[in-house]
């Protein structure tokens, strides 16, 4: 089993907006779709998938369990609710959305419940999101290293997470990068613009290609069909060693998402 290297995200998209985004993405050739319980758009995503006519076995659907559903008696029922909204009997990947250390549900409880969901056939793979090294080690101790397909983390040229990504690579756990464009902030970066000009590419393509060449999966989102199409072309962009070295200098710990009650102590 593996994680697709390129997918479409749906964070902050709801209603007809997310239906149109997913419909356009699927029409353009995307086959991996990322959603979450807290996005409140699983039903709309499910509608777009159903209306696309694309066979289910050609798609890779990811959802994430929200913190209010971490308790053992809530996690599996909540995932069943997600499956009903998504109009599928099984998702391909289910993640714990945030570690939420003060949530009152211990890691062994929710990782155990997540493993049970996989054993029941509700999800093909399981993983985590926004976990630091220490918490990833704890998750490994609970369910086994081979069971954790990915750690989905905020990662961009401004937030490169070198310690965490090196650890995950050493464990054979795929990094999935979200917010790869840093809420669009990297699109104004002059260094990335130089590299984009050199390759006759867009800055977004450069940022996404950078993450891909580091071995990460990416899930950029867009409400515009032309941007969805352009982002896909990042897969064909080959940055050279000089480009990668220059992008490495952009690290500034530029974290965009850091909810105090949900986040761990970052590495």
What is the DSSP track for 141-161?
HHH-GGGEEEEEEE-BTTB--
Q: What are phi and psi of 255, to 5 degrees?
A: -75, 130
Dihedral sign, Cα of residue 209, residue 211, residue 214, residue 219: negative
Residue 97 annotated as part of some ligand binding site: yes
Cα–Cα distance for residue pair 168/238, rounded to 1 Å: 24
| Contact of 165 with 213, CB cutoff 8 Å | no
| Contact of 254 with 198, CB cutoff 8 Å | no
Cα–Cα distance for residue pair 196/186, rounded to 1 Å: 12
Measured CA distances, 242 to 180, 195, 198, 247, 248 (Å): 20, 10, 12, 9, 10
Strand blocks (E) in the chain:
8-9, 32-34, 60-65, 91-96, 123-129, 148-154, 174-178, 217-218
Cα–Cα distance for residue pair 227/101, rounded to 1 Å: 37
Active-site residue, 39 included = yes
Cα–Cα distance for residue pair 136/249, rounded to 1 Å: 27
Residue 223 DSSP one-character state: S
**Catalytic residue numbers?**
39
Specify binding-site residues for substrate: 97
């Amino acid at each position: 089993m593996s994680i697709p290297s390129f997918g479409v995200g749906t964070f902050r998209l709801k209603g007809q907006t997310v239906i149109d985004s997913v419909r356009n993405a699927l029409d353009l050739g995307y086959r991996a779709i990322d959603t979450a319980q807290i996005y409140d758009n699983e039903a709309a995503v499910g509608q777009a998938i159903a209306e696309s006519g694309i066979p289910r076995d050609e798609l890779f659907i990811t959802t994430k369990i929200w913190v209010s559903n971490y308790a053992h008696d809530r996690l599996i029922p909540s995932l069943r609710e997600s499956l009903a909204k998504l109009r599928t009997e099984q998702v391909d990947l289910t993640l714990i959305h945030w570690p939420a250390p003060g949530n009152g549900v211990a890691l062994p409880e929710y990782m155990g419940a997540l493993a049970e969901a996989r054993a029941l056939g509700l999800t093909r793979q399981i993983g985590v999101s926004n976990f630091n090294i220490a918490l990833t080690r704890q998750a490994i101790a609970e369910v086994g290293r081979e069971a954790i397909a990915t750690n989905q983390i905020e990662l961009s040229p401004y937030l490169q997470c070198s310690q965490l990504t090196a650890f995950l690579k050493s464990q054979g756990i795929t990094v999935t990068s979200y917010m790869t464009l840093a809420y669009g902030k990297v699109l104004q970066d002059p260094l990335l613009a130089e590299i984009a000009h050199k390759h006759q590419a867009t800055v977004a393509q450069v940022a996404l290609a950078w993450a891909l060449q580091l071995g990460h999966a990416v899930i950029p989102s867009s409400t515009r069909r032309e941007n969805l199409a352009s982002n896909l072309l990042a897969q064909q962009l080959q940055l050279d060693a000089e480009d990668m070295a220059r992008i490495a200098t952009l690290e500034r710990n530029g974290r965009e998402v850091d909810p105090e009650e949900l986040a761990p102590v970052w590495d």
